[in-house]
Structure 1
Amino acid sequence: MRITVFRKLMANEFGDVRADMLARDHVFSSLGGRTVDQALEAGQEPKEIWRAVCDAFEVPFERR
């Protein structure tokens, strides 16, 4: 998955403002205690990050 696709999924699920806030501020234990932005900068795969976000926020299966 490309980062642009990941960002679009985030915006579609949470809205532009909340998606940006979550990516910047929310720390995920499943991402090694990193935020989304930190995980992306560290080279973690966007698909893995999307799964972590979906699990943490209980995104329904059909939108994963």
Structure 2
Amino acid sequence: MRETELWRRLELHLGSGYARVWAEQQVLADLGGRTVVEAIAAGVNLKTIWRACWGALELPARDR
């Protein structure tokens, strides 16, 4: 997964105005207590980040 795909998916589910805010502020336990933005900066695998977002947002299995 590329970073652009991660952002596209977040925007699809959260809206373009809120996705970045959520990614900067929402701390996810599955990312070691980091936000999405912090996890990206730390070099966490983007699929791992998406799975954490998917779980936190309680999205349907088809969106995994």
User: TM-score, with normalisation over the residues of structure 2?
Assistant: 0.94
Indicate the residue corresponding to 1:48 in structure 2.
48
Return 5+ residue gaps in structure 2 as ranges: none
User: TM-score, with normalisation over the residues of structure 1?
Assistant: 0.94
Deviations 1:39-60 (A, max 9, x none): 0000001110000011111011
Number of residue-to-residue matches in the alignment? 64
Cα root mean square deviation, aligned: 0.7
Deviant stretches of 4+, over 2 Å: none
Mapped to 1, the partners of 2:27 and 2:49 lie a distance apart of 12
Task: Answer yes or no: is 1:34 the counterpart of 2:43.
Answer: no
Counting only pairs closer than 5 Å after superposition, residues 1-64 of structure 1 correspond to structure 2 as 1-64=1-64
Percent identity, please. Answer: 39
